[in-house]
Structure 1
């Protein structure tokens, strides 16, 4: 007899060979196929006395219809109809996620009411990772113009979200202390994990193939061991794809298991475990920087670099070149050092310069201030003058820049019903994430080599011919980053319902929670050390100093952009200079940081219904007691045993233990209050106000002492109209909102603290201060963070509709105004003290940037002022957003039964970029003109599919077969997202290209 097992087992074995972990999970599931293929008996309707009463802390999808959710926890912490929730909540249902073909949070964000992926949206920091603010998070969220928090099952998380085990996403906008005492003022995005189903055994498999060799296999196996008593659900995924960018392949291997047990009536025990391994590229979304065009336009001249003096940073306008500075460059093409040193003209090297580079007399009328950043990106298409192009479809970090994550989560929960009206719940959650990445530092640029001569590898001041004069090259330094995060939560929750008749129906809930989180981060560059003594090549007491950094240079064909990445970090050939052998070694620098955060929380919430449900009132009070304990860092002593063993080198940094001198404790009291009033049948008005305190950002440090920032405070209010017609099949929420986030530390730019450290280093190198005094002035833990306040206001409209059985629709529109104020409250007093300190020493000393200290100071002052002016205009906000997604299923009675079609449109307004610079005042500060905007976003997606329940055949009666094709960016729009223009607004500086048209074909089987 032909059975589903006999048919599918060979297929699953083939899948396992290709998809490894997920395929293996399918093989494990194969023996259960006959059980799942059996007809499932109809479950009798329980007698009235046996009616199952759901916990108020649990939401199921039973009332979801198409793209319209019925209930949510995201408004009041209790199971509430969306039409009775005063807080602004939007839900992505399982049906929507399936139709969209979404695999992670980034896929759905642009269909949210007022959210998008955050590309440093409220920060002008020039450096960012594509879709990633850290090693662990898969995507950062911007909601209502502010950063938003991410939770899994309403528990704070750092783990990446994946739809393989997610039932739905809830987006709660604005601060809401009842929902989360600590979170971002922008709101939260919560992923609800699927739970074990006690009713029926089922097996679901989903295979996806897409553009750029994308393959994904998912399995979801639910086994009922004892009906209505014991069930186990196992889910797994293997996802691998090359992506549209070369050297940017991704791979995900995750599985999870959730068990449900009901030992007694009214008692439910849930246990969950997840483990995963994720490999992604370390990448920047933009192309290479133009540090080539000025030299190129002057005929790619080669120069006698030894005839231009001893200055390592000298500008040479006639040839379009400039000095590189002191540097250890090693040419990977032929294994030779090109080490640049000061003091002799024969040990100085030059590089090409770009037309927009500061200090170059390139004929560009905007070149009015030597110290400004006028760089731009190379063109993406071939140019008439032969200037090399740099297309977006390449990750210019190359194939060795990778980021790996190990994740682990455990969750345990006991729910107990007390009579008809009482419930208690005890929960424990523990998650761990570890991330390791190799990335590149230095300019992401393409250079030309104009030098006829190069420094002698023997270390003497005798020049030797440069065999690669006139060629193009790339040159960057490798560095590594390690991040580890632990989160633990213990939570007890209880609720009781009081029906007081004419005085209302009330539910009272209380919660006590203990949360503990620890994060540890270290990073550092590859430096050159003596292969025998492990002593750094130049600065022995500060290994992280740039004079020790190893830059790996690689000469490339200018017209083969897929070769434009630096030398390999796996290259172990000896590096000989001055008769001494050196090797590359990764060290830890001063950015070693971390902290322990402990929060004890109590919460009391109420939900009351009056006038037969016409008036719903919610409220809550919460207390959070927070202890923050940062870790300290320090240099490793030369006599440390790890130095002798070779594990560490002397004077490199390490992350130490707790720093009791900088422990911070806070106690916060927050509230939520709201109401929904039914004016007529189907028409309600609502009002909600709340506040909260954001989780302190332990990866930030503030002036004047590089201490942890105080927790930001969020306040907000929403009010508007709810329309609910056609027996709930047409739902509309129209809201106006106003949100404030005070003490926000999201502005980061380390340019100025680096200049400060160069000044201090110059004092030390000239014998004016000791190394100890220099260390005390460096503020090594400070990363360039600035405190400010943010305010957003606007309005939103969301529509969810199922007008007929065949149509399901979601649509939204929003407007947001963003303003930043009070920027620099921590900077000005600190810098005033530094200027008094600088005044004690000569201002003519040169720093390692080959600039006089007086120039460095002037550039710090004007640069900070310009940074603040840029941020105060609502940087990168897209005021207007709109989207819709529609699906139509053909009637069951027609010839096209089973067929469904649909699609969506995503539109976002022009984003605020910066102010035009129309001149400079007497102090060199920008004189600003009009606001400049980037292009809008407009994309169309399409869906076509077929679904049927088989009546017979090889796969078995009752098997559900679904096949669908998703097309993202249907019209193949190549319009980029511009994040920053160059300083004068006439060239791109930071961009995020749009993924080209993408096809995904999925086939699902359900038994």
Structure 2
């Protein structure tokens, strides 16, 4: 068999040292394979995702996310355990997924090959050779259907127009594929044509001239199935009893008699299971009082005598209510019904003070937010489970189909979609002379491709939740009656206990477009000195070919991300008093969607048997909506004085709040007693929510991205352009020496890559009232003026093959043997032209590069019936792009948040409790900085030495006007004096400033961070960070092992193929130099200085810190990733073995019948390691004793029958059964530290298809 993959000219496979496999159309027809998803299970050393795949391709982090695989599942591949293969069409790189309707062969190159492709994936490539026009009149019609009601129709016609001179081919595909998961589908429509012209007037007398061209146009619309079950955010609600966690830091707990007891980090803490508890949103977040059964969502107490202590009611099982932050929630309770819409977080921005002036707050309610069940990875960190701080816990999948039947039901319903559109034109002109001894080929290729997707569920919201909220948030501070839980008298939630799915449409919506253009010139010259007089020198030199290459390749790409909905209604924005919101993509303007599934489980003892149905409707939020909102306008009720006394029953009376409460006369407290035990219930009518207009219906208009192209552009949150030009030169020599016994190949290649890039996001358009809208004016959104990055790489490849049966002095010994033996050796390298990639400092990262070594033996029977090839390989990849750190953008956001809150504490800047626009600058601001608009004296503290104890007093004991100093200052921790809290604040500020000053200025430039932005004389804004375009996390990897291919043809009618691969692949140097350097410095500042104590979301002693947020958002994952250095890549089976056989009956009563089958074996797989504490007190993995997942064995069967209907028409029917006798099942991907499975993929189950073909 021949291949082009050796030296770009037809070469016998036995003469090539590279690891190459060739798949014929007959193999595709036998196995029923039509694309990567259905072929690569059978080939050597390759893996593929999808419902019939061999791996998920989602990594092994806490969150397994397959969202990026939905758009083009054919690209979810891996070779030798390294990374995805490049896809090429006739050796032109392509984004277009191939389909077998117009393919005549598939070649798989394992490992890099600079001769074939100096630029490309270091793992290898999958090249398809497209069908060309042939000099034979023929055609075929294909009709295929399967158990899921899929219908595949294909037509292929070839017509000779001028005998041996001009021919055309025309092919059409309509592949409507359905899946077991309903309503998943993929509709692939394509048209293809090819032309061949061998002009007679240019052929003859040793000259051959050929012109070829082909064109394909197609589109794919899909709602592809999921291969992962939903994340489990429902079953922990039913957990009863208690479990042991630990305290995640040093601190104090509240003793049985109200005393404070010191505890240390790591001490055991006993938690209660959720046990079907229900809550209200105020109750969950109220951490300012020691009210019984309060603050379950808050780890610390932030007010009163226990401020800073651990909250005894905290439950780490509680997490986000999906992604519902700020904006209104659309609750869909019934199929096809309109949503009920509630504002989820009360805004008191028009609240007044006792003097009647607006002070922006209403003290009668605190921060309120609904909650749901936390993911397992967050729960482990929050609860202080063993090793939880290191990020080694994974999110759990729902595994019981009686809870939700993920085998048969797509959790998204119709609310996920993908699309691909493409066309490709290829033309070539070749001419040879002197009977093909000299010649050239000029080829041109142009491709246009775009894809996109819309998603309802993204990230950790790809889950099923349960609603634990008893009421909506419209209750008051007395609850049902004084003394009971405040706010519990809100409107009852009719969906209490119902399962639901939810997200807000801000993420998971993206598009990609590429334009490729290539010109390739390939000259060659052959020589043959072996002919003639048999001179020994001539025999040594033998024959050979010199091949040259010159090519120019250009690639232009654009990526866009957008959100599906935004409230741009200025009336609503003004009504809600969102004056400080400076971007349309702010969470307060992004409505969330909650879709309830099935009946309430409030009376169930577990989720087992719930049989939660899928979502059966297409969610399209109403463009004109009415939301239930809180109107914070003072109502001017007759006789109500805002300065009059009011008892706020959200607080406890002092006799219950203070354990040492013992006044001489409770009815006549002395001034000292009132200062010692202040009654925090005492307030004014200005803080009573009932004195405001309160809850009412308010309309708003919604902008939807999918209503028009203009809307989608308007709601785009990030857009990038990049271009790449590659100029390549290569020279290849292949020589047949010593009477063809030695075949040597050597290649040199030089690639020069020039790249440019441009990006913009909402952060670039906040100034001057830009409101975050991106600028797509061609004069702005352009690569003109972009900095050029240039990269030049030279690569070398060589191989040598020795055929012993032709080698002088050895051939005689081989003559009597029934087989021939060949040895081969290959060394090859390549790189990926990613010159635009940058590190954390914005500096260019060296291109991903690969190098491989192959050596082995080929044994073939001399009759050609048997062949065995054994290859030992080592492939190294350096600077490969890594999937580590899914939230890499937090690297900049952490500096943004830390800087803004440090400013708030140091300069008494208000960010109105949110990191939006800084609207107020109070005391101690830098010299010359202006007083910003909307400045209010009411928010100034009364002394320069500022601090507020929550009771309205500053550090000197003086009353603070408005009592709002907690916005700007640290609250007391247990046992602290006011001076202690002020000193702790000053220490944290100083440490953060020291950290800021130590940061390499390149980081600030790369992330567009301007520390002076809050102090500008115009357009003062909060500090913000923009993730650098093409920011990359890199890692190195090494793959080693053996590959075996054995083919047999015992009889003319019987073919057997066996291939096997033994592979180990490990990863190292995760992150690369720059990222490791930055994170090492930052974590040192957070862990070993007071910089980690900068408070976030106010200064309460129990509030979140920069250290806490770092570990929650990215730090724990980073630690986990670094622990993976030296470990196997995810989902890699050490052994994979395939056996395929087919028998054709050509005579007798079974003539025309063919039967065959395939047996696919995959070894057990490492799914995790036991974490252990090393000798230095750090964490490592027990690599010698990994946790193992099960092995897999799959059987495929097929049978076909061919009948001649007439002289010109043949009919063939074939039945294919994949994964015979396999039912539904799950395959573990990740495990928890104790070895229990966490994340799963859905195992391939039995499928059948019937294919009818009519050939003529």
Contact 2:1204–2:1211, Cα closer than 8 Å, also in 1: yes
Contact 2:512–2:559, Cα closer than 8 Å, also in 1: yes
| Stretch moving more, 479-488 or 910-919 | 910-919
The structure where strand makes up a greater share of residues is: 1
Q: Distance in 2 between matches of 1:632 and 1:127?
A: 27
| Stretch moving more, 969-978 or 89-98 | 969-978
Matched, 1:450 2:468: yes
Matched, 1:1000 2:1249: yes
List per-residue Cα deviations over 1:440-491 (Å, max 9, x = no partner).
2252222222222222499x99954333233332211224111101111001
| Stretch moving more, 606-615 or 760-769 | 760-769
Are residues 653 and 331 of structure 1, via their aligned partners in 2, closer, same or farther at CA, if it must alter by over 3 Å? Answer: farther
Contact 2:775–2:781, Cα closer than 8 Å, also in 1: no
Q: Distance in 1 between matches of 2:409 and 2:468?
A: 26
Q: Distance in 2 between matches of 1:841 and 1:366?
A: 26
List per-residue Cα deviations over 1:911-935 (Å, max 9, x = no partner).
2222223569998856657322322
Q: State the partner residue of 2:553.
A: 515
Are residues 761 and 783 of structure 1, via their aligned partners in 2, closer, same or farther at CA, if it must alter by over 3 Å? Answer: farther
Are residues 131 and 363 of structure 1, via their aligned partners in 2, closer, same or farther at CA, if it must alter by over 3 Å? Answer: closer
Q: State the partner residue of 2:511.
A: 482
- Show the 5 A alignment for 1:952-967: 956-967=1206-1217
Q: State the partner residue of 2:440.
A: 424
Are residues 321 and 149 of structure 1, via their aligned partners in 2, closer, same or farther at CA, if it must alter by over 3 Å? Answer: closer
Following superposition, the deviation at residue 129 of structure 1 comes to: 6.2
Matched, 1:856 2:1109: yes
Q: State the partner residue of 2:802.
A: 677
Following superposition, the deviation at residue 885 of structure 1 comes to: 0.7
Q: Distance in 2 between matches of 1:640 and 1:547?
A: 19
Are residues 450 and 196 of structure 1, via their aligned partners in 2, closer, same or farther at CA, if it must alter by over 3 Å? Answer: same
Contact 2:561–2:716, Cα closer than 8 Å, also in 1: yes
Q: Distance in 2 between matches of 1:395 and 1:77?
A: 45
Could you list the runs of 5+ residues in structure 2 that have no partner in the other structure?
A: 50-54, 240-273, 288-294, 300-312, 334-338, 348-360, 477-485, 531-537, 600-609, 632-697, 706-713, 806-813, 815-819, 910-916, 919-1008, 1012-1021
Are residues 141 and 359 of structure 1, via their aligned partners in 2, closer, same or farther at CA, if it must alter by over 3 Å? Answer: closer
Matched, 1:473 2:473: no
Q: State the partner residue of 2:687.
A: none
Q: State the partner residue of 1:274.
A: 216
Contact 1:129–1:284, Cα closer than 8 Å, also in 2: no
Q: State the partner residue of 1:773.
A: 1010
Q: State the partner residue of 2:47.
A: 116
Are residues 457 and 372 of structure 1, via their aligned partners in 2, closer, same or farther at CA, if it must alter by over 3 Å? Answer: farther
Contact 1:283–1:397, Cα closer than 8 Å, also in 2: no
Could you list the runs of 5+ residues in structure 1 that have no partner in the other structure?
A: 1-69, 383-387, 951-955
Q: Distance in 2 between matches of 1:433 and 1:717?
A: 35
Following superposition, the deviation at residue 144 of structure 1 comes to: 1.2
Q: 1:887 aligns with which of 1142, 1167, 1173?
A: 1142
Q: State the partner residue of 2:1201.
A: 946
Q: State the partner residue of 2:755.
A: 628
Are residues 553 and 390 of structure 1, via their aligned partners in 2, closer, same or farther at CA, if it must alter by over 3 Å? Answer: same
Q: State the partner residue of 2:1056.
A: 809
Contact 1:338–1:457, Cα closer than 8 Å, also in 2: no
Q: Distance in 2 between matches of 1:476 and 1:590?
A: 17
Determine helix, strand or coil for the equivalent of 2:883. strand
Q: State the partner residue of 2:654.
A: none
Q: State the partner residue of 2:237.
A: 295
Are residues 338 and 724 of structure 1, via their aligned partners in 2, closer, same or farther at CA, if it must alter by over 3 Å? Answer: same
| Stretch moving more, 901-910 or 321-330 | 321-330
Following superposition, the deviation at residue 862 of structure 1 comes to: 4.2
Matched, 1:910 2:1164: yes
Matched, 1:612 2:710: no
List per-residue Cα deviations over 1:836-874 (Å, max 9, x = no partner).
887796834225997321212345444312112125302
List per-residue Cα deviations over 1:751-776 (Å, max 9, x = no partner).
35437515523643775497863787
Are residues 575 and 438 of structure 1, via their aligned partners in 2, closer, same or farther at CA, if it must alter by over 3 Å? Answer: farther
Contact 2:155–2:172, Cα closer than 8 Å, also in 1: yes
Following superposition, the deviation at residue 506 of structure 1 comes to: 1.4
Following superposition, the deviation at residue 789 of structure 1 comes to: 1.2
Determine helix, strand or coil for the equivalent of 1:563. coil
Q: State the partner residue of 1:286.
A: 228
Following superposition, the deviation at residue 427 of structure 1 comes to: 0.6
List per-residue Cα deviations over 1:977-1001 (Å, max 9, x = no partner).
4332346542322x32123211110
Q: State the partner residue of 1:103.
A: 34
Q: State the partner residue of 1:978.
A: 1228
Q: Distance in 1 between matches of 2:1083 and 2:316?
A: 37
Q: State the partner residue of 2:1077.
A: 829
Contact 2:45–2:80, Cα closer than 8 Å, also in 1: yes
Q: Distance in 2 between matches of 1:367 and 1:636?
A: 37
Following superposition, the deviation at residue 715 of structure 1 comes to: 1.0
Q: State the partner residue of 1:713.
A: 849
Q: State the partner residue of 2:396.
A: 376
| Stretch moving more, 972-981 or 242-251 | 972-981
Matched, 1:161 2:118: no
Contact 1:759–1:847, Cα closer than 8 Å, also in 2: no
Q: Distance in 1 between matches of 2:315 and 2:1077?
A: 43
List per-residue Cα deviations over 1:63-86 (Å, max 9, x = no partner).
xxxxxxx11111222211112211
Following superposition, the deviation at residue 708 of structure 1 comes to: 5.6
Matched, 1:730 2:750: no
List per-residue Cα deviations over 1:215-269 (Å, max 9, x = no partner).
1011100010101111110011101122011121111001110011112311111
Matched, 1:748 2:884: yes
Q: Distance in 2 between matches of 1:414 and 1:817?
A: 44
Contact 2:431–2:439, Cα closer than 8 Å, also in 1: yes
CA RMSD of aligned residues (A): 3.5
Q: State the partner residue of 2:569.
A: 531
Q: Distance in 1 between matches of 2:1208 and 2:1037?
A: 55
Q: Distance in 2 between matches of 1:658 and 1:960?
A: 56
Q: Distance in 2 between matches of 1:130 and 1:747?
A: 12
Q: State the partner residue of 1:404.
A: 419
Following superposition, the deviation at residue 799 of structure 1 comes to: 1.4
- Show the 5 A alignment for 1:246-395: 246-263=182-199, 264-265=202-203, 266-281=208-223, 284-297=226-239, 298-310=274-286, 313-314=297-298, 321-322=318-319, 324=321, 326-328=325-327, 329-333=329-333, 334-341=339-346, 345=365, 348-353=368-373, 356=376, 358-359=378-379, 366=386, 369=389, 373-382=393-402, 388-395=403-410
Determine helix, strand or coil for the equivalent of 1:340. coil
Matched, 1:549 2:687: no
Q: State the partner residue of 2:429.
A: 414
Following superposition, the deviation at residue 138 of structure 1 comes to: 2.4
Contact 1:630–1:659, Cα closer than 8 Å, also in 2: no
Q: Distance in 1 between matches of 2:445 and 2:1151?
A: 45
Matched, 1:540 2:557: no
Determine helix, strand or coil for the equivalent of 1:453. coil
Q: State the partner residue of 2:602.
A: none
List per-residue Cα deviations over 1:139-184 (Å, max 9, x = no partner).
3321111222111101111111100101111011111100001111
Q: State the partner residue of 2:614.
A: 563
Q: Could you state the TM-score of these two structures normalised by the residue count of structure 2? A: 0.68
Q: Could you state the TM-score of these two structures normalised by the residue count of structure 1? A: 0.84
Following superposition, the deviation at residue 901 of structure 1 comes to: 0.4
Q: 2:832 aligns with which of 694, 700, 705?
A: 694
Following superposition, the deviation at residue 556 of structure 1 comes to: 1.9
Q: State the partner residue of 1:787.
A: 1034
Contact 1:505–1:609, Cα closer than 8 Å, also in 2: yes
Q: Distance in 1 between matches of 2:470 and 2:885?
A: 37
Are residues 784 and 665 of structure 1, via their aligned partners in 2, closer, same or farther at CA, if it must alter by over 3 Å? Answer: closer
Determine helix, strand or coil for the equivalent of 1:326. coil
Are residues 639 and 912 of structure 1, via their aligned partners in 2, closer, same or farther at CA, if it must alter by over 3 Å? Answer: closer
Are residues 251 and 116 of structure 1, via their aligned partners in 2, closer, same or farther at CA, if it must alter by over 3 Å? Answer: same
Q: Distance in 1 between matches of 2:728 and 2:129?
A: 22
